[in-house]
Structure 1
Amino acid sequence: MRRTLFLLIFGLAGLGVLVSLGVWQVQRLAWKQGVLAEIESRISAAPVALPMQVAEDADKYLPVTVSGDMQPGEIHVLVSVKQVGAGYRIIQPFRTDDRTILVDRGFVPVTAKDTPRQTGQMEIYGNLHWPDEIDRYTPEPDLDANIWFARDVPNLAAALESEPVLLIARSPTDPGVTPLPVDTAGIPNDHLQYAITWFGLALVWAAMTGYFLWRSRASSESDEQ
């Protein structure tokens, strides 16, 4: 009887923990979906003029339109695009009014790395962004080959002598450059998979608890005989 009671209590406690973890992940899923919906709404809002004072916390994903001159000089950031392969993001300084910002013009294949691109007067529509692409495994830029491995906005700005403000273009700026606009595809949302995992483990736990209870009862009946 004590053995059966112990198995029952242990089984119910474990089942409760696993189910609660699954419910928590479902709640996190709802929260994350709300966050992504808010980001999508902000990304797709009507564009405004570039603010005089730009703050990362307040202006991340802000849609803006700027007019000015694309300056010569560019940085190539190594990237891979699904169903296309490896290539580079083209980052260039853009002069608008009396200030210079960075513009991520988009993607070119490896073979077009050093192809001349349009500069001069143009109008660009896009979103302000401060990508979080750097960790301890990110290599240092290969300055001799002009190949960077992340969009490190402060260092890019220092290299191109601009403000640490990056505009990700949504509108084309050159026939040979494909815009890679800001979206939420790169923001992880794995809470549904986690919830399924926890609920699956809870189901297995319940089945194993039932099995051990049955074995314990069968063993007790056998001992009594």
Structure 2
Amino acid sequence: MNKRMILPLIFGLVGAAILVSLGTWQLRRLDWKETVLAEIDARITAAPVALPAQPDPEQDRFLPVTATGTLLPGIQVLSSVKKVGAGFRVIDVLDSDGRRVLVDRGFLKVQDDPGPRPDGPVTIIGNLHWPDEVDKYTPAPDIEKGDWFARDLPVMADHLGAEPVLIVARDITPASPAIRPLPVDSSGIPNDHLQYAITWFSLACVWLGMTALFLWRIRRGTE
């Protein structure tokens, strides 16, 4: 082998090895993430329990709960659903023996009338959730006009005089036909590790190809 080829060959093999190791690491991360998502799905669909006295945002995230009380007026948060269009998430207050928490009743199309709230006790089955929907690009709510652009739980709770606790409904009895429940699931949790792995492995192939081409040019230049 030409001595001029040794250093480029080493550089090419080491670079490819690093890229392959990054792809392998992403595959391990993929396996870990799929296990986590399976655990979350199992937790979401477990049998509901009574609403805890002091829910913890970490320990009780996605906890399935059931609660009974009276629905009081709340707010509507601008939202959209794929293949359905624009609308609102209907966030009301559930008064249960004096305890007030928030309930995400579901999605209401822009053109639809939500109809009257159930007159009397309702039973909610859903999951506790602390949405993370607010960033520096999210407009602040115009409370006077009733324009809300995200489920900012602390602000909503303060405005409605309720605990900063949100139940995302899976089932409401009696139901409101115009409002479609949007229960929590794991689909919104990012899982891009497979794409990352493919990217790293593809780069490794390109790296090896470029190394081979460079070595070939060196060899031709010395013939």
| Offset from partner CA, 1:38-80 (integer Å, 9 cap, x none) | 1101000010011112111111100011011111x22111111
Q: Which one-letter code corresponds to 1:17 in the other structure?
A: I
* Secondary structure of the structure 2 residue equivalent to 1:149: coil
Equivalent positions of 1:117-132 (< 5 A) are 117-132=117-132
| Offset from partner CA, 1:116-156 (integer Å, 9 cap, x none) | 43353110100000011111111101223312111111111
Equivalent positions of 1:69-84 (< 5 A) are 69-71=70-72, 73-84=73-84
More displaced stretch, 89-98 vs 39-48: 89-98
Equivalent positions of 1:28-39 (< 5 A) are 28-39=29-40
**Structure-2-length-normalised TM-score:** 0.94
Equivalent positions of 1:1-225 (< 5 A) are 1-71=2-72, 73-112=73-112, 115-172=115-172, 173-221=175-223
2:115/2:176 contact within 8 Å kept: no
Aligned length: 220
5+ unaligned residues in a row in structure 1: which ranges?
none
In the alignment, the residues of structure 1 paired with residue 107 and residue 119 of structure 2 have an alpha-carbon distance, to the nearest angstrom, of 16
Shift of 1:99: 0.7
**Structure-1-length-normalised TM-score:** 0.93
2:86/2:110 contact within 8 Å kept: yes
Q: Which one-letter code corresponds to 1:79 in the other structure?
A: S
More displaced stretch, 59-68 vs 212-221: 212-221
In the alignment, the residues of structure 2 paired with residue 136 and residue 145 of structure 1 have an alpha-carbon distance, to the nearest angstrom, of 21
5+ unaligned residues in a row in structure 2: which ranges?
none
User: CA 1:3 to 1:216, structure 2 compared with 1: closer, same or farther past 3 Å?
Assistant: same
Q: Which one-letter code corresponds to 2:48 in the other structure?
A: P
